Structure 1
Amino acid sequence: MEASPPKTVSKVVESVKKPKIPPPETEKAIWTRINVILAFWAVVLLMGIPAWLYTTMIYRADLPLQEMMDWAEGKVCRPVFPLRLSVEADSIPIPEAQNLVRITQHALDDLNDFSAHHLRLLLSDSEKRNGTQSEGREQTDSEPVESILGKSEDIALSIRFRPESGISAPRADLHAYAPVLDIFYPPTQMPSASSTSSPLASFVANELQSIYTEEQASLAYLLTANNAPSQKTKILSQEFNDMLARRNTRSFKYASTYHLTFSLFTPSYVPNDWEIRSALKSYMTPLLESLSSISNFTVDSQVQLYAEMPPSMREPELDSSRKAWTMRKEDLSGFINAAEWPLSPSIGAGPTINFILYVASEERRPLLVAENGKSSWLVPQWGGMQIFNPSTSKTPAVLTKDDLRPAMHKFSEHLMSLLGVPVTPKSFPLRLSTLTRVRSAQLMFSASSTMGALARLTKTLPSIEIPDSVAKNTAETLIRLEHACRDLKDGKFHSALENARMAEAHAEKAFFEPSMVGQVYFPEEHKVAVYLPLLGPVAVPLVMAAIKEIRAYRERYQAAGAVVVAAVGP
């Protein structure tokens, strides 16, 4: 028989086969662990996630999106341009003057095919004669048109009737430097107080219609291009469409300030000076002062010696019939040597308009354009060029004010073309008034379009930030647009231009807000890429601990159920 193992060995084997089972967890320990896990989750849910959402939240100020879209679609304001024309007829009896204004107004209304632009005749001294004071009042349907006269600055044109014996037909004389139209008529053509028509009234109506033909065409072209609603749309001829399209192509976009740079370039060491200050004061300053109601201007000048034409340009050719050197029209675009000539593209806040006076060399003089024989040309949306051909064989060392007179006159024409000043009528104040109305409408449409673009951007990109500055500029834009629209309806065109200018400025600030523009290129996917490596290591222990505790709870629940079943029995 084999000997039995010692008792100590059997005890060791028994202890190895049956490991010690830890004592059961007390209920207090279980609840302690559950409370710890719940505390962590409470911190995450009640503090961590709200703090994360708050710190990563994109602030979006409230914008009146529907109102902005209504402005962009032209539903809020229908631009109208009522022009008040003062009629001075001191030599005509009151009843006949009133009837003349009335039938002339009817003739004007019959000729007008563009309801957004209408002329209103006002008898200037009817209030004084009738002893009424209607200044500042608006016209009503039951009130005669000749009994209302606005403020003098709201009068677009003064019409003066002057009887003249010895003439058989009326004639008109429009002043070149004043908004005054003189009508000279034979006394026999003055209609009586009971007349319903008159050749004189028809003549005046046709004359006024011809004066404002280009303005009506410009406004109709502008309204059509911007899809602005109008009760009656003017149909433009192809000639007018082409002319207005060319004007828009060559003219600068409106700016409150333009910078004018006058440059003298010479291929040699002479001339080395020019009397530019006195020339600008005599020939350019009056024009700039007249345009100051529309835009401001800053001026500087420079002289560049040994300025050669670019080598890539074709050499001028000698025209024996003209006894002049000529350049082809297709070569003019390469005349400016931008690589060597010091021409700054932008100085200051506003756009720069360049005016270059180039002195032809003594070997190639005179230097002209082959196609038209001229010595100047316009560069669209850039400036003007003028070739200076001295009358003497030797180039003067200094260009005097008289030498610069033709160039300054040509630069003045170029400036008006680049600013979009209309060509007709011959009265310069009327042309400036037309430019004021056109620019007012352009700025209103531009600001309204910017508001629409901002509204669409806000709807399309919900993750983009909208700071308070955008909301403030948007509100200011809408207020200024309302004021500009009301000023247009009231015939206060200078005030309308100022409000439209400020509306455009605030709209640009709102749309090109730096913080908002940068947010466009930060989509939601970037947030996931940034925060996932940070939140992942934190979330995994919390989730695993919660899963483990749920499993333990299920096991305890099942064990408790088995004990109950065993105690009850089958």
Structure 2
Amino acid sequence: MATPEVERKRGHLAALSIAAVVIILGIPLWWRTTQTYRAWLPVNQINDLAKLQLQLSVDVEVVFARGTLSPEQQKKVPLTQARHEEHKVDEDTTLRYRYDTKYRTATVMEEDALNKPSAAEADLSLHTLSESPCGSVVVYVIPESSLLLLEDVEVYIGERRTALLRIGTQMRVGKTPQQVLAHLEPRIKQVLQVMSFSHADVTAALSDRVRLSPGSKESRADSMRAFKSSPGYEITFSLLNPDPKSHNLDWDIEGAVQQYIQPLLTKLSPLANFSIDSQILYYAMLGVNPRFDSSLSAYTLNADSLAHVINPVEARLGSNAASSNPVLNFLLYVPDAKHAPLFIHDHNKQEVPSNAFHSPRWGGIMVYNVNGLYGPGDVFPVNININMAKVMGVFLAQLRLMLGVQSPAPPPGFRVEPRGSAGLAHWELDRLMWSRTVENVATATTTITSLAQLLDQIGNIVINDNIAQQVSNTVTSLQLAVAELEAGNLGFALQYSKEAILASERAFFDPSLLHLLYFPDDQKFAIYIPLFLPMCVPILLSLLKIASEVRQRRRDKKAKKD
């Protein structure tokens, strides 16, 4: 039979063994199995992208036609020339612009195209010979004797990416090539301000993410008017018939969309995907009662009351629950017989020619008056065929405005070719692509930077491999987009920027990020303490008892020695 001393040593050994197993094996195993999984993220690269240092490059080609340069001048004209510009958006963001200009003389086929009867035909022929890449600009310098331009027109901007610039014959005599180029440079710079991106466009694209200077109010107003960049848009055309008993409305919306809207959306397909639907709403009334103006013998809606028109109508439009894309609403309202005709007045009490108005980042409303009806002998309901050409002309202008398609006012001496059936010139598409690419890069950078800061501040959020992959894809796409912008490849830069913004949004809105967001450490202790405390208390007491006995034994030995 074991002695009490042996039993005591055996108990001490058992307590120490259990404590060792708990400390060496149990605690690390528990810590490992309850640890939040967090995949690796390229934090340093994300911090580098947050600086948003962009350089935009434009390829400019200046082609001299026959009769603009003498043979001696042609031999001395430089082949290439680069011009750099830097602009401050705010104290932290610097944008660099680079214009790579190439000079050459026109080929035989280009000379034949420049001999066409009109500038529009010459523009089409030049485009047929060689299609310029996205974002580039080609300026053809023609002699003063050319009949392509009118006398009061010095610069013609076509529907494509080409411009015609007239030069005087006096530049051929006694002028060096540098003097000729210096003479052309102001006009070429004006051409680039019209056909390529401008500082105002880029500033507007960054308006939600930088602090604009007081002189940039116009840029901010333009940016607030248009919808922000999105992978897709939903376009809804609605016909509002407030009084079906008075009139029976007929509109060929399908044919009108195919004729007027679809060509524009086809050209805008590199930017986003578009879906179109239409509806007819009966007994849909405006939220404001129009006032009768006896001087006009008509009802009027003032600009101050237009803001109250949208909310009641919007409740009838329905919501697009199947998609998260922005919705562009275009409403055609035909007044009832009691409030016809109905005209919209601006802030100056002047009648709006289009009889329509738009709401920024929402859509537009047009009031369609029916003239010559609602007489004493009319039989109700009156059949009304809506003139879709008139309606779509207004909606097309509003759609361009909502999507951010802006054409700056040309300088004096410029003539801009009217837009064709597509409703969008090639260089207008390029301007929009520049601003959308910059906006996508800025948005994706802001999103991924915010996500990295959030994950750094809240340590118990799970970062699974899918989120890490999306973050890495975002960083890679942003780096490629910035590199393509610097190289002047606008098409590739836009594509990479779209991939970046899609990947960043998938990572930021991943549902797995919310699983442990509201499971802080104090709740963990509340769960695990009832499990581990009953086991840990006896072990801890045994260790304290062993430590106390060891100290007592040492004191006894010391006392015997003394």
- How far residue 71 of structure 1 moved from its aligned partner, in angstroms, is 1.1
Change (3 A) 1:461 1:277: same
Q: Which has the larger radius of gyration?
A: 1
What CA deviation, in whole Å up to 9, does each residue of 1:158-197 have, x standing for no partner? 2223335388978334345222212244545446673432
Alpha-carbon contact 2:139-2:163 (below 8 Å) kept: yes
Partner of 1:329: 303
- How far residue 271 of structure 1 moved from its aligned partner, in angstroms, is 3.1
| 1:309 partnered with 2:286 | yes
Q: Aligned partners of 2:152, 2:303: CA distance in 1, in Å?
A: 46
- How far residue 393 of structure 1 moved from its aligned partner, in angstroms, is 0.8
Partner of 2:143: 163
> Which one of 284, 308, 332 corresponds to residue 357 of structure 1?
332
| 1:45 partnered with 2:42 | no
What CA deviation, in whole Å up to 9, does each residue of 1:193-246 have, x standing for no partner? 734324862563354255258723222555687569xxxxxx9994xx232111
> Which one of 203, 218, 224 corresponds to residue 201 of structure 2?
218
Consecutive unaligned residues in structure 1, runs of 5 or more: 1-22, 130-149, 229-234
Partner of 1:231: none
> Which one of 450, 454, 473 corresponds to residue 453 of structure 1?
450
What CA deviation, in whole Å up to 9, does each residue of 1:344-388 have, x standing for no partner? 255513111111111111222221123331221011111111111
Change (3 A) 1:192 1:339: closer
Partner of 2:160: 178
Partner of 2:541: 544
Change (3 A) 1:159 1:389: same
Change (3 A) 1:51 1:209: closer
Q: Aligned partners of 1:189, 1:236: CA distance in 2, in Å?
A: 41
Q: Aligned partners of 1:176, 1:324: CA distance in 2, in Å?
A: 43
Q: Aligned partners of 1:196, 1:365: CA distance in 2, in Å?
A: 66
- How far residue 333 of structure 1 moved from its aligned partner, in angstroms, is 1.5
Partner of 1:527: 524
Change (3 A) 1:335 1:321: same
> Which one of 58, 61, 71 corresponds to residue 82 of structure 1?
58
Alpha-carbon contact 1:105-1:205 (below 8 Å) kept: no
Partner of 2:398: 414
- How far residue 557 of structure 1 moved from its aligned partner, in angstroms, is 7.2
Q: Aligned partners of 1:104, 1:45: CA distance in 2, in Å?
A: 74
Partner of 1:276: 253
Q: Aligned partners of 2:364, 2:331: CA distance in 1, in Å?
A: 6
> Which one of 65, 69, 74 corresponds to residue 43 of structure 2?
65
Which range moved further: 344-353 or 109-118? 109-118
- How far residue 493 of structure 1 moved from its aligned partner, in angstroms, is 0.7
Alpha-carbon contact 1:265-1:357 (below 8 Å) kept: yes
- How far residue 551 of structure 1 moved from its aligned partner, in angstroms, is 4.5
Change (3 A) 1:111 1:515: closer
Alpha-carbon contact 1:261-1:352 (below 8 Å) kept: yes
| 1:397 partnered with 2:383 | yes
Q: Aligned partners of 1:80, 1:166: CA distance in 2, in Å?
A: 34
Higher RCO (C-alpha 8 Å, min separation 6)? 2
Q: Aligned partners of 1:386, 1:100: CA distance in 2, in Å?
A: 59
Q: Aligned partners of 1:518, 1:489: CA distance in 2, in Å?
A: 41
| 1:344 partnered with 2:319 | yes
Q: Which amino acid aligns with 1:305?
A: Y
Alpha-carbon contact 1:104-1:201 (below 8 Å) kept: no
> Which one of 337, 358, 361 corresponds to residue 378 of structure 1?
358
What CA deviation, in whole Å up to 9, does each residue of 1:411-443 have, x standing for no partner? 111111111122326563222111111111111
What CA deviation, in whole Å up to 9, does each residue of 1:438-462 have, x standing for no partner? 1111111122222322332233333
Q: Aligned partners of 1:221, 1:191: CA distance in 2, in Å?
A: 45
| 1:248 partnered with 2:223 | yes
- How far residue 258 of structure 1 moved from its aligned partner, in angstroms, is 0.4
Change (3 A) 1:94 1:289: farther
- TM-score, structure 1 normalization: 0.78
| 1:257 partnered with 2:240 | no
SS in 2 for 1:488: helix
Q: Aligned partners of 1:339, 1:417: CA distance in 2, in Å?
A: 20
Q: Aligned partners of 1:100, 1:290: CA distance in 2, in Å?
A: 41
| 1:467 partnered with 2:464 | yes
Q: Aligned partners of 1:346, 1:527: CA distance in 2, in Å?
A: 38
Consecutive unaligned residues in structure 2, runs of 5 or more: 89-94, 110-129, 375-380, 411-415, 418-424
Which range moved further: 170-179 or 501-510? 170-179
RMSD: 3.7
SS in 2 for 1:152: coil
Which range moved further: 317-326 or 182-191? 182-191
- How far residue 538 of structure 1 moved from its aligned partner, in angstroms, is 1.9
Change (3 A) 1:112 1:531: closer
